[in-house]
Structure formats: structure tokens, C-alpha cells
Amino acid sequence: MIPLKFLSKNEKEKLTAQLEKQFGIKEIPWEIAKLGKERIIVFSGEISEKEIFEFDRFARIEGIGLYFAKIDERTGDIRLSIEGAHLLKSQITKNIFELDEKQAEQWMLGQELNISTGKRGFLIMKYKDDFLGTGKASENKISNFVPKGRRLKYRENKIEE
Amino acid sequence: MQNQTRYQPKPLFLERMKNLLGRDFDDYINILKKEPVRSLRCNTIKISPDELKERLENKGWKIKIPFGDFPEIIIVENELQPGELGRALEHMLGYYYIQEIASMLPPLILNPKPDEKILDLCASPGSKTTQTAARMKNSGLIIANEVKFGRIKILASNLERCGVMNAIITKRDGIALCRRFKEQNFLFDKILLDAPCSGEGTIRSTPRTLEMWNIKTIENLSKLQKSLIASAIEILKPNGELVYSTCTHAPEENEEIIDFALKNFNIKVEKINLPIKTRQGITEFGEKEYSEDVKYSCRVYPQLADTEGFFIAKIRKVK
């Protein structure tokens, strides 16, 4: 059975409050569910929760909705996926780190950035109009969470070293 | 010339294509030697065609939008480095999907609407599922099924990259899944059956298909395709629509399947309009004769519109 749990109204409010605290996000206009221990998905499909579980019994669900965020079990902080950041980009007002072209390329290559931001915790990575997911800032670097399958595989020639 | 240097077509394949194409045969052979067009589909879930066009032009790419009614279909006209389309940031961010123009046609015919319940029975790698989700504006419901474990991952990854939120992925044998849906009376407004096929239409991009081609495979696939379409029709709502497609030219996998459906179910084949030049379905091949209405299906030949080869038919379940 799929380890899926849709968030109650209270749970959704709590999650939204945390997103507002971290990134200024005030509203998530879709159904939200927890998939397994950490992964948060958003789902816009027109089917009830009850139907989903009935459906799972006879059709074996392998995946549902869109991976949106992960909750850090230790701190309770939320790390938005690339898609999560893209979906809510119009609402994100806080903890944005603007990348320059070279940093954006390093980021999409999956490399950590050796930068001191003066902040600690999760930052939304932004390059021009593109939202490139979330990094974790510590004293002298930003850790990279771009999944392997989404990374650029080479350096573009036009980027200056 | 990248094609047909390493892989030579088998005599029986050539003979069959000659029978299908008649005087177009030489044009067909010539187009196989030509590099396929670099086409992509703007993922309107994430970006508008105008914005994407501007971004790609700023990279120095020469962009053409060939069909005014479908601005999401884009051709890159200039030469690119090998793999450049797939490595671009815009691709990584899901702003476009690299997709052959012929492969974009079945979802256009399916014409999915935002409130519909749609089954994509053989969904991986997800080109048509993501296109369907975009046309539904990420609402309604898509069930995207794929039987092969190895292909589920690529399907899930493409749905994620493209920001698809309205889909549920299942991994079941298509016939068994339809049976379960039928038992549960879980019916669909529309079904896309992009059936597993012998891939004769993909020779331009995958010349190795020529080496793997054999008539036995076609016969076996034909049996599977008949079982799939029969199972799928059973779970269509009354008046529901099914689009059947393959990327092959073999009549046993195309008209014969539609003929089988017409003879065994209360359905009708509907005329379809495509934005490219096509040929109508054939009503006889060798010693076989098919129902007259099979002619409403479409044969997409590479030499007609500089695409890959495809077959598309739309059927409606009669109330």
C-alpha cells in the first residue's frame, strides 16, 4: 500500500505557516500529502482521498502528484524541490539567494557554492527568472540538493572561467 | 548520412513498404537518409511558447513555430552540438520536452479537457502524458500506466521535470489493469493507447530498428495490440473516446487493430484532422481486407512532412 497521508486542515496550516516563516509563502492552493517519512507532494488530480486508497488496492500506485518539498526531521525546516520553488515562485519573498551566471551553472552542475552568505539554513536559489530549488547555507558554503538526474552534464562554453 | 549505413533493410521490409507506398517509395527511402528535424514541445505548464522562443533565440538557436494553432510545437532549425537540446538549462528545468512532431499528434487528437478522467495505458517515457497534462492545465485526472519496471523511473522523472500534478502512476500489465478497472466500474472519458509496436516509423532516429525488424514480431505485437484495445474499450464511458497510435507502418499493427475493434465492439471510427500532410488508412493489404471505415485513420509517412512515421486512429464508444 502506498505510504501516502493527506494533510488535514490543521497540518496544512502548520506547513504553510512554516513556509511563510522561511520563504514568505502564504498559500498552497493544492492538496498536500506526505509520501513516506519526509517527502511532501502536491496533487491536483480530481479524485477523492478515499478513492485513491481504493484505487491503490486494485491498481497498485507507483507514484502520485508532484514532489514538492522535504521536511528536515531534526529541525522541522522545509526544503523546497526545484518544482516546489518553481510552483510557488510568485509568493517567495524571503531567503532568496540570487546567483550570477557562473554560480548558476555551478549550481546546476550539482556543485556546492563556497560562499559566505551571512545566513544559515535553507535558501531559495534564483538565477534571473529561474528558480533552481533550495540550498542549505552554512558558514562558508551553500550545500547543493539538485538531484543527479536534473544536473547539467557539462560546462557551457560561453561561461567564463 | 547517418542512417542505413550500418543497418541494411531486409528484403521483406522493403517489399512491404513498396506495396504500401507505391510511387512514393523512392521519396521514402531518400528521406530515411536525411537527419531528423530537431523538434521540441514547449511545456506550457511552466512557460509560454513566446517566452520560451525568446529564451532559445537568445541562446543563438534559430526557432521556427510551424503551426499557428499549436504554438507549443517548436523546430530548432540551426545545427546544434550532439546532445545540446538535452543538456540545455531550459530542458533541465522542464520548460520543454524533446519530442518528435509525429509523436505530438495523438494527444492533439485526444484533445484532453481540464475536467476529464484520462488513461494513458502505455505511458513511458511520458512525452504524451506530459503533453496531455499540459493541455488539461494540470487538472482533471490522468492515470499513467507502464508495465516495465525500468521504464517507470523515466516516466516518473519526466512527469516531475515537467511539473505534472494531476497524474497517478501505476505499474501493471495493461490488460490486467483494464480488467481491474472494469471490475471496479472505474471508467474513463478518454484513453490514449500508444501501443507497443515494431517501430518502423522510427528508422530515421533509430536505424537499428532495421536490424531488429522481423515479421514474426509484427504478428506477435498484433495479437497484443488487439488484446490491449479490446481491454481498453471495455473501460471507456459511453460516448468516450480512444486514440490508438503506433510508430509503425505495418498494417497488422494498425488498420488490422482498428478493423478488429470495429468488428467486435459497438464503436465508430471518427475522421481526424492533423496539422500535417498524411495519408488515409488502407482498406486492404496483401490478402487481407479491412472495414471501409478504417480509412478514417491516418498514416503519417516520413516523406510527406519530414517527420517520423506514425499511425493514428480515433474511435468513439457508441452509447
pLDDT digits (tens, 9 = 90+) for B13-69: 999 999 999 999 999 999 999 999 999 999 999 999 999 999 999 999 999 999 999
What's the pLDDT score for residue A38? 87
pLDDT-derived band at B1 (thresholds 50, 70, 90) equals: very low
Q: How far is A152 from chain B (nearest CA, A)?
A: 6
The count of CB pairs under 8 A between chains A and B is 89
What's the pLDDT score for residue B121? 98
State chain A's mean pLDDT as an integer.
Answer: 92
Which among B167, B297, B187, B280 is positioned nearest to B240, based on CA atoms? B187
Active site residue B162: no
Task: Answer whether B42's CB lies under 8 Å from B318's CB.
Answer: no
What's the pLDDT score for residue A73? 86
What's the pLDDT score for residue B5? 61
What's the pLDDT score for residue A159? 39
Residue A57: its chain B contacts at CB < 8 A?
Answer: none
pLDDT-derived band at A160 (thresholds 50, 70, 90) equals: very low
pLDDT-derived band at B309 (thresholds 50, 70, 90) equals: very high
Distances B242 to B120, B214, B235, B271 between C-alpha atoms, Å: 10, 28, 10, 13
Q: Which long-range contacts (CB under 8 A, 24 or more apart) does A18-22 make?
A: A18/A76, A18/A77, A18/A78, A19/A78, A19/A88, A22/A77, A22/A78, A22/A94, A22/A95, A22/A121, A22/A122
Segments making up each domain of chain A, as ranges: 1-94, 95-161
What's the pLDDT score for residue B114? 96
Q: What is the mean pLDDT of residues A130-153?
A: 94
Q: CATH top-level class for A95-161?
A: mainly beta
With an 8 Å Cβ cutoff, the interface of chain A facing chain B consists of 30, 42-47, 52, 54-55, 58-67, 82-83, 86-87, 104, 108, 130, 132, 149-154
Helices (H), chain B: 11-21, 25-32, 49-58, 84-87, 89-92, 101-110, 127-135, 149-161, 174-183, 209-212, 215-234, 255-264, 302-305
For A61, the closest of B165, B168, B184 (CB atoms) is B168
Q: What is the mean pLDDT of residues A64-79?
A: 94
Q: Grid cell 494527444 — which residue?
A: B107
**Which ipTM did the prediction report?**
0.93
Main-chain phi, psi angles of B72, to 5 degrees: -75, -15
Task: Answer whether A99's CB lies under 8 Å from A123's CB.
Answer: no
Query: What are the pLDDT digits (tens) for B259-306?
Result: 999 999 999 999 999 999 999 999 999 999 999 999 999 999 999 999
Interface test with B, best of A2, A41, A46 (most B CBs within 10 A): A46
List, edge to edge, every strand of the sheet that includes A96-98.
A96-98, A121-127, A130-137, A142-143
State chain B's mean pLDDT as an integer.
Answer: 96
Interface test with A, best of B44, B47, B89 (most A CBs within 10 A): B89
Query: What are the pLDDT digits (tens) for B143-185?
Result: 999 999 899 999 999 999 999 999 999 999 999 999 999 999 9
pLDDT-derived band at A154 (thresholds 50, 70, 90) equals: low
What's the pLDDT score for residue A1? 82
Q: What is the mean pLDDT of residues A13-42?
A: 95
Percent of chain A with pLDDT over 70: 95
pLDDT at B224 over 50: yes
pLDDT at B317 over 80: yes
Interface test with A, best of B166, B169, B184, B185 (most A CBs within 10 A): B166
Residue A133: its chain B contacts at CB < 8 A?
Answer: none
Q: Go through the domains of chain B in sequence order and give each one's CATH number.
A: 102-317 (3.40.50.150)
Distances B3 to A98, B24, B208 between C-alpha atoms, Å: 46, 19, 9
pLDDT at A104 over 90: yes
The active-site residue out of B42, B162, B247, B298 is B247
pLDDT at A63 over 80: yes
- Select the more confidently predicted residue: B5 or B9: B9
Q: CATH number of A1-94: 3.10.450, 1.10.20, 3.40.1350, 2.60.120?
A: 3.10.450
pLDDT-derived band at A82 (thresholds 50, 70, 90) equals: very high
pLDDT at B211 over 90: yes
Task: Answer whether A107's CB lies under 8 Å from A99's CB.
Answer: yes
Q: What is the pTM of this model?
A: 0.95
pLDDT-derived band at A158 (thresholds 50, 70, 90) equals: very low
